[in-house]
Structure 1
């Protein structure tokens, strides 16, 4: 008890800010709670099924998400105040856990205060409304929260905390996109830990095994085949006839269309701005010029001025005019494929080079790759063009983390420079 009082006394300003931002974020989201969505369907299911029974039922008939489905039903069918309080509490713990993971040191005070403000800026409430607020939050935001909170608890020495960590991680990995994200990142950290310490981290290994089980569960769920056949008929007739490479290329083009051509996410612009500022601080002027060129192109494209993406938009328009959804011509799409790939490689290379410690640069690039791979998973679904922006949430989370890592790198450089000036 004394330890808790001491902690609150020394951190109450920061905790109050996190609580304030969590409250604002919750109030913003619940504005959309009565909008049309799948929560009505889930609420009706509560009359037919128990909590765990519904998880098994959905696993057999529709989805591999198990307890996520049950939580969605529970939140949809009971008074919304339960959802509101849960959202507020989990947002607060998520922000605190992420702070402890990214900024565990006693310094970085300004960054700790900036973290929740950046979060609420880059994750607008409308992002979580495409399937109805409650289903979108429980299927995307809650797994994201669970993964971060679980990872924080996993690194605690208390056995009870580790137990809670695995419960949270298991819940997160019932969502297939976050399973892919976690599989790649945890796999990388497991290997890095082994190379550095010449031994396997048992906690990381356990989390990695959970991610593998999540992938297996998603692949083998009886309901997945049923859902696939229904969604093919509804959203993309003939999707099962497309070769795997065509599905992946279509997914690649669609993902980058949203990131670059339409530039619908402000977090991506924040990433580019952060890279430019850090490049200038580190006197990497060529890197600053390259990323500034990309940012300039995105801005003028938004303004309707001709640029690299004008030809891409023409290709997209001509393809949308076709009634044959199965048509795909690699030659026709060669230009956007080359442009998108070049831009991604430039951004990844610049990010890697901005870190003084190359292992940190590799970590940042791996996190970005994991987020991108989680979005690319949607390429295997007939809802590739119908699932809207919610399927980008794991990628946005990865970009958000990388922005924080870049800010930390710049802050450390600034502090060291200040100390050097004072010593002179």
Structure 2
């Protein structure tokens, strides 16, 4: 009975997720249908996909067997991966994991936007490219975190082969996760060198796997051919874009994604920072930052409930009505409409700079938090140079959303914020409503219709 009470925080969400997954089938009109109808022998299929389309050979293997033979296996495993992801977010950050910590992490994950959840967690194809590889990536990050933050050796002769294989699987599944792990491993080795601490040969070998995996991704013939095909299909003008145009298009896109699709996560971080700030008053400079940040937070809430111009801070496309670089250099063209188009960019830029400063000040491992913030941005910024920047949908936000979840949980841990059981249950109402509403959308429109 005591064991049941201990794990009740996880058993109830797991049961809820299992029920939800029984309603999910192959999404008509999506890649699910394509992969479920593959007729070629497995090795022939993998060779064809590598030569003509992708380096994601592990994901392609999952597509082949799960969509071809075992959707029920996916319905059984996918809820476990969601719970495991919530656990690993906490485990990377600390050695001893309490079920309430995992439950809090699960609450944050449940607050992801509906399109991110639908496309990267509950769509069969999407989950096999995002949820599963991201979860595996967090497993492989544990030995680095344990060594760097806790000076503990997680990798040993008995489990090294497991971490080695999992590292390879990540490289064969998701480019964003691979690049993040490569960057984290390099920062780890540099920090160990600067601190004059002994390098672990096993971790060096895992870092080599990420390096070779990145090279494998970049040189894959299928990736090159896929890019040509995607340019023709989704973005014929892509090859003619200059670096300046890539950045211009990319920043419009990334502002829209961060401050619309991921706004709830930004707001959760904001609430935590204000709670910490007003509870532990710092110096005069920090107090001024906190007051400015709180005032901007109130502005955001006010605009969101306003009936007059609720999109004044969320419409990032108006800037396309102007030749930005020409207008910004010509004061004669500065009109009211131009400044209105700039408002969301200026507002959110200041907001994020203050938020990043407050986050940096309230956590213990400052280099790590800087890495997380940059990684969340970089995982999205690689889309600046992808012809599917508009076609990929919001599944590509999954890596950044999980990184923001890591930031939220780290702030909570470092500030020793504890939520009572009643508070956790109240907080759980928000993700439950979010996912139930998502289920109603599926019933009305089909899962594929809201992948974007």
Instruction: Identify the TM-score tier after normalising by the shorter chain.
Output: 0.7 to 0.9
Q: Which runs of 5+ in 1 are unaligned?
A: 1-8, 415-424
Shift of 1:406: 0.2
1:17-416 to 2 correspondences below 5 Å: 17-29=9-21, 31-36=23-28, 37-45=30-38, 47-50=39-42, 52-105=43-96, 110-122=100-112, 127-129=117-119, 133-152=123-142, 156-174=154-172, 175-260=174-259, 262-284=260-282, 285-304=287-306, 310=312, 313=315, 316-317=317-318, 319=320, 329=325, 331=327, 335=342, 338-355=346-363, 357=364, 360-411=365-416
Q: CA RMSD in A?
A: 3.2
C-alpha separation in 2, matches of 1:404 and 1:292? 21
Secondary structure of 2:318's aligned partner: helix
C-alpha separation in 1, matches of 2:155 and 2:4? 24
Distance 1:153 1:84, change over 3 A: farther
Q: Which runs of 5+ in 2 are unaligned?
A: 145-152, 329-337, 420-452
Secondary structure of 1:159's aligned partner: coil
- The question of whether the paired residues in 2 share the 8 Å contact of 1:176 and 1:214 is answered with no
Would you say how many aligned residue pairs link Structure 1 and Structure 2? 393
> Whose relative contact order is higher, 1 or 2, with alpha carbons under 8 Å and at least 6 apart?
2
C-alpha separation in 2, matches of 1:413 and 1:129? 32
- The question of whether the paired residues in 1 share the 8 Å contact of 2:112 and 2:264 is answered with yes
Secondary structure of 2:277's aligned partner: helix
Shift of 1:117: 3.0
Q: After superposition, what is the alpha-carbon deviation per residue over 1:59-81, rounded to whole angstroms, capped at 9, x for unaligned? A: 21111211112212221111311
Secondary structure of 2:312's aligned partner: helix
Distance 1:178 1:412, change over 3 A: same
Q: After superposition, what is the alpha-carbon deviation per residue over 1:305-341, rounded to whole angstroms, capped at 9, x for unaligned? A: 678972873x61362x79xxxx874746994655544
- The question of whether the paired residues in 2 share the 8 Å contact of 1:42 and 1:76 is answered with yes
| TM-score normalized with structure 2 length | 0.76
Distance 1:214 1:295, change over 3 A: farther
- The question of whether the paired residues in 2 share the 8 Å contact of 1:193 and 1:200 is answered with yes
Secondary structure of 2:391's aligned partner: coil
Q: After superposition, what is the alpha-carbon deviation per residue over 1:141-163, rounded to whole angstroms, capped at 9, x for unaligned? A: 11111111233377534434222
Secondary structure of 1:122's aligned partner: coil
Shift of 1:292: 2.4
| TM-score normalized with structure 1 length | 0.81
C-alpha separation in 2, matches of 1:171 and 1:331? 48
Shift of 1:136: 0.4
Shift of 1:222: 0.8
Q: After superposition, what is the alpha-carbon deviation per residue over 1:182-226, rounded to whole angstroms, capped at 9, x for unaligned? A: 122222222223333522233332332222222212211111222
C-alpha separation in 2, matches of 1:182 and 1:119? 21
Q: After superposition, what is the alpha-carbon deviation per residue over 1:2-57, rounded to whole angstroms, capped at 9, x for unaligned? A: xxxxxxx9866444433432343354355343433211101112x2130x443332
Distance 1:91 1:263, change over 3 A: closer
- The question of whether the paired residues in 1 share the 8 Å contact of 2:50 and 2:57 is answered with yes
Distance 1:289 1:251, change over 3 A: same
Distance 1:195 1:65, change over 3 A: same
- The question of whether the paired residues in 1 share the 8 Å contact of 2:55 and 2:222 is answered with yes
C-alpha separation in 2, matches of 1:79 and 1:354? 46
